[in-house]
Structure 1
Amino acid sequence: MRIPVAFFVKRGPNALRVATLIRMTIAVCPGSYDPITDGHLDVIRRCARLFDEVHVVVAVNAAKTPLFTEEERVDIIRHTLEGDGATNIVVSSTDGLITDYCEQVGATVIVKGLRQNGDYEAELGMALVNRKLAGIETMFLPADPVLEHISSSVVKDVARHGGDVRGMLPDYVVEKLNVALRATRD
């Protein structure tokens, strides 16, 4: 992203010139992504248009028991984003503080998608803690209204009970989810 830092007025055909300083803007999109949904992907793709570099970070939460391993979630996200053509997305994971990850990669903002009011209240608390810990700002992107009902928990619950989750997840993720759920039943 180019940030204007000074203006120089000059007579002639180029009446105003802007000197710019090139500064990379790096954003982090953390989440458990268990599994990644169409709602997550919408936020990630929008971030890729807003920032120079976007780190999609599988955040390991010891309080949760995920269906997919950390490595599986990273691989699923990479595979899902492969066909997008976005060259500014990095997929990784961390079991530490997300603020530490942000500092390591030089990120200046954490981006979180918001579905409903409950999301905002939960995320606001974390945003305030992250700002206090490391001065990292959090940007909230409202969910696409067509996708705001989708969450990883809802998708897993629907699939566990034999419901059709196509249209909530990419086809590849639907396949992986069905395989993982069959393995838990066996």
Structure 2
Amino acid sequence: MPSQEELERQQKQAVAVAVEQAQREMAARVAVTLPESVDWVNRLTSELWLPFVVPLMLNDNIAAWQEKVRRGAPSGWELAIQEMELGQQSPRLSNFQVYNSVTNGRMNALECDMRMESTSMHVVVAGSGPLGKFRATVSGITVSGRMRILPIPEHRMLLWSFLGPPDMAVKLQVKGPLIGERDVPQFSFIRNAFAAALQARDSA
């Protein structure tokens, strides 16, 4: 039986191969549907969000998000995610459009607009730096952008990402023994690190 390390290495290799293949195919594509709203997708997403989607997203992405936040800290600062809940509100998807490969006629991409307004998302980031130790709490988020979903059937994968940096507003409160409880400009890098973590991860 392969070790856990070997399984993880094989999975990373499979993802890398799938991404490279998808990028080649995206160079040759053509839209085959007009933009359309698929209301049933949003209904299905809302039903599956808490029992299925949230646990899956956290399991697949939490390690990468933690690393992005850690690396997003400026020199002399340290950041670490301590708690993370994605909240009860699921994203809303609209303006779906299917793209086919011009070489074989098969679907090779699905694009859609995504908007998520969550007042129940809860993320706690512990940190330290020139202003001492602190605790930053995210208590809400609004994010919107155009997304691309790439099916990789031979690897049984779906890769997704934003086409560009999404519009994002993060409700953030910082508390520490030296600064009290406030939202101070010096901590804007926490918002940036958190936003980068969410938008930079493709999921398989």
Pair in the same fold by TM > 0.5:
no
Higher fraction of helix: 1
Using structure 2 for the length normalisation, give the TM-score: 0.23
